Amino acid sequence: MTKKASAVWQGGLKDGKGEISTQSGALKNNPYGFNTRFEGQPGTNPEELIGAAHAGCFSMAFSMILGGANLVPEKIETSAEVTLEKVGEGFEITAIHLVMSAKIPGATQEQFTELSEQAKAGCPVSKVLNAKITLAATLES
- Please count the structural domains in the chain: 2
Query: Which pTM was predicted?
Result: 0.88
For residues 120 and 61, give the distance between their C-alpha atoms in angstroms, rounded to a whole number: 8
Give the model confidence (pLDDT) of 6-35 as tens digits.
999 999 999 999 999 999 999 999 999 999
CATH number for the domain spanning 131: value is 3.30.300.20
> In Å, how far are 18, 21, 90 from 124, measured between CA atoms?
27, 21, 26
Residues 6 and 55 in one domain: no
Residues 106 and 141 in one domain: yes
Residues 37 and 88 in one domain: no
For residue 17, give its domain range: 1-44
Residue 94 pLDDT greater than 90, yes or no: no
Residues 49 and 35 in one domain: no
Residues 34 and 58 in one domain: no
- DSSP letter at 13? T
* Alpha helices in the chain, H assignment, sequence order: 34-38, 46-68, 109-122
Residues 125 and 80 in one domain: yes
Give the model confidence (pLDDT) of 60-91 as tens digits.
999 999 999 999 999 999 999 988 889 899 88
Per cent of the chain over pLDDT 90 is: 70
Residues 37 and 97 in one domain: no
For residues 87 and 100, give the distance between their C-alpha atoms in angstroms, rounded to a whole number: 28
